[in-house]
């Protein structure tokens, strides 16, 4: 597809994602959702990027032009938009955010009436409408059929209640010191409010968004500041969110950054102990460390691996009847509480686990120590189908026999192939990576 990527439409604001593009995309989406409309309402939220004003205005113009009424809720986390779309009985939801990207990028993510991210087939339909000049022209309304927009400022309370309901009522946070890095992003209000209302001693970092400081040397992409503050303040735990709060990075009381697979594994076992895990397994991605397979196996749980992207994780969760999954990057999906990765739901469950076990965070998370990995991004001149490269399957089988897990995949945006080797012997990995690099240089560079 020309517009849609792995998570909506994303690009540099004012260039790939211009006001014209946003308006026309909103028109196309409105035309598509009109086919199954029940309320004629679409919800629009955004993060704290300056370009959000431009794109939001363009989206409102596009939707109202084709007859839709728009509910604008201002800066809110992506998972809040997913929840509120269903909760407020809207035909669809739109989140304006480029997630963890720098401030100069922006993006548009769509949710259906159930709060689910769109399937690729639906994105393809919307893109097809986008490029149909005649259909776009004929769909524009006049007179009383033009839509209206309404700004709603009090929906934050609904989302706060939803998040607090995911936290066991038998626990209180009043003896817990928590440091939150909200990344100057979409959860800068909601995260401190939730933790304070539950009784925690809360210290908040990076909660003064100015339109251009979102994710800037802070949050889930740069948790080093959080790690230092957790240790300095002798806090029990630290949580770092990304710009739209669908991702979470955890820091234990010693100031150590918790590996994403350790987060997934310990939470999965905790849920299973609480009889809250469905399907006897967990869904992660091909990027997860093999230690996660081994750790879950010891607890008689199975690991399913999906393609990279939380929507693929969710799709496999549904197919396998599983209610928990995520990515090692910090996108964690609790199917009973959210339709997408939700950093705040994850933080609530981590906190519940700490209180339930009565242990320090480091004691819990250090049960999982990832095996060594080497990742190499190799520049290439062409992207040949991997299954057509002579000798590649034999190379992979050799590595597997040598106790090494190989993963080779092309970048979706650059002329790169990402080469990952994982095993228990670092020296062996380094030696075999030289062979792998030489192989791909010969066939692709």
Q: Give the active site residues.
A: 99
Strand ranges, E, within 242-338 = 248-251, 281-285, 302-306, 324-326, 332-334
Cβ atoms < 10 Å from Cβ of 408: 18
Q: Label the pairing between strands 302-306 and 248-251.
A: unpaired
Residues in the chain: 445
What is the arrangement of strands in the sheet containing 69-75, beginning at the earlier edge strand? 9-12, 105-111, 92-96, 41-46, 69-75, 149-151
Of 422, 408, 421, 399, nearest in space to 380 by CA:
408
- Residue 140's contacts (CB-CB under 8 Å, 6 or more residues apart) are 27, 65, 66
- Specify the 3-state DSSP secondary structure of 167: coil
DSSP 3-state helix, strand, coil percentages of the chain (rounded to 5)? 40, 20, 40
Q: Label the pairing between strands 69-75 and 41-46.
A: parallel
Of 344, 24, 324, 319, nearest in space to 180 by CA:
344
CA separation for the pair 203, 223 (Å, rounded): 15
CA separation for the pair 118, 75 (Å, rounded): 22
What φ, ψ does residue 240 adopt, rounded to 5°? Answer: -115, 130
CA separation for the pair 385, 34 (Å, rounded): 39
DSSP letter assigned to residue 388: G
CA separation for the pair 348, 354 (Å, rounded): 10
- Residue 347's contacts (CB-CB under 8 Å, 6 or more residues apart) are 191, 239, 248, 250
Tokens linked to 164: 């607090």
Instruction: Give the containing element (helix H, strand E) for 264.
Output: helix 260-273
């Amino acid at each position: 597809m020309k517009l849609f990527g792995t998570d909506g439409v994303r690009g540099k604001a004012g260039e790939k994602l211009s006001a014209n593009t946003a308006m026309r995309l909103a028109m196309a989406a409105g035309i598509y959702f009109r086919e199954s409309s029940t309320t004629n309402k679409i919800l629009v939220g955004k993060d704290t990027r300056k370009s959000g004003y431009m794109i939001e205005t363009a989206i409102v113009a596009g939707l109202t032009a084709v007859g839709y009424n728009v509910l604008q809720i201002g800066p809110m986390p992506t998972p809040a938009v997913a929840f509120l779309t269903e909760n407020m009985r809207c035909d669809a939801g739109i989140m304006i955010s480029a997630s963890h990207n720098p401030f100069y990028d922006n993006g548009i993510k769509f949710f259906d009436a159930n709060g689910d991210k769109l399937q690729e087939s639906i994105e393809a339909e919307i893109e097809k409408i986008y490029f149909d000049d005649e259909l776009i022209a004929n769909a524009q309304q006049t007179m009383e059929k033009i839509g209206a927009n309404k700004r709603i400022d009090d929906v934050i309370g609904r989302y706060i209640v939803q998040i607090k309901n995911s936290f066991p009522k038998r626990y209180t946070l009043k003896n817990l010191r928590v440091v939150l890095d909200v990344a100057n992003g979409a959860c800068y209000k909601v995260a401190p409010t939730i933790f304070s209302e539950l009784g925690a001693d809360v210290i908040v970092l990076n909660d003064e968004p100015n339109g251009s400081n979102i994710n800037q040397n802070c949050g889930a992409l740069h948790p080093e500041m959080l790690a230092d503050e957790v240790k300095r303040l002798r806090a029990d735990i630290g949580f770092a969110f990304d710009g739209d709060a669908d991702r979470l990075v955890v820091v234990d009381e010693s100031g150590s950054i918790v590996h994403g697979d350790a987060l997934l594994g310990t939470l999965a076992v905790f849920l299973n102990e609480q009889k809250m895990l469905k399907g006897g397994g967990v869904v992660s991605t091909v990027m997860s460390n093999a230690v996660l397979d081994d750790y879950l196996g010891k607890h008689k749980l199975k690991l399913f691996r999906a393609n990279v992207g939380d929507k693929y994780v969710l799709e496999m969760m549904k197919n396998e009847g599983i209610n928990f999954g995520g990515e090692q990057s910090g996108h964690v999906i609790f199917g009973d509480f959210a339709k997408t990765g939700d950093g705040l739901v994850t933080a609530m469950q981590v906190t519940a686990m700490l209180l339930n076990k009565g242990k320090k965070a480091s004691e819990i998370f250090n049960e999982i120590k990832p095996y060594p990995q080497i990742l190499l991004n190799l520049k290439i001149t062409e992207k040949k189908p991997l299954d057509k490269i002579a000798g590649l399957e034999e190379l992979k089988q050799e590595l597997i026999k040598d106790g090494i897990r190989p993963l080779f995949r092309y970048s979706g945006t650059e002329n790169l192939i990402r080469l990952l080797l994982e095993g228990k012997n670092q020296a062996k990995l380094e030696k075999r990576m030289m062979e792998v690099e030489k192989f791909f240089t010969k066939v692709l560079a």
